[in-house]
Amino acid sequence: MIQNPILRGFHPDLSIVRVGNDYYIATSTFEWFPGVMIHHSQGLKHWHPFSRPLSRVSQLDLRGVGASQDVWTPSLTHDKGTFYLVYTVVTAFYCDMYDTHNFLVTAPYIRVPGPSP
């Protein structure tokens, strides 16, 4: 039996995708770098930190971004061998929140080379 919450702690704005027998959840990381947290599961019961795909400044430049801003509401999808991650970078808080920037990154694999989180 699977019980909620499937991820304990603070994992806001989750987006889930199934690829074959694998499930991936992407969550917001706000001002933390590297950006977006990906968790992995093969049965929807046991989830493990898997990757932080926004690991280069060219993908996520946090200079000048304040607390509780930056990466909000990532959307993770997969089609024909490619992962798509769309995310919004919020640079204003409690003011002109409609002036946000949206980004798209793609990759054939979801794990970023290097040490696991």
DSSP per residue over 37-99, as a string?
EEEEESSSSS-EEEE--B-STTT---TT--TT-EEEEEEEEEETTEEEEEEEEE--SSS-TT-
Q: For 67-103, what is each residue's pLDDT tens digit?
A: 777 888 899 999 999 999 999 888 776 666 666 788 9
Given this model, what pLDDT does residue 105 score?
Answer: 94
On the question of pLDDT at 116 being above 50, the answer is no
Which among 44, 48, 40 has a CA at the least distance from the CA of 2?
Answer: 44
Q: For 56-69, what is each residue's pLDDT tens digit?
A: 988 888 887 777 77
Domain edges within the chain: 15-107
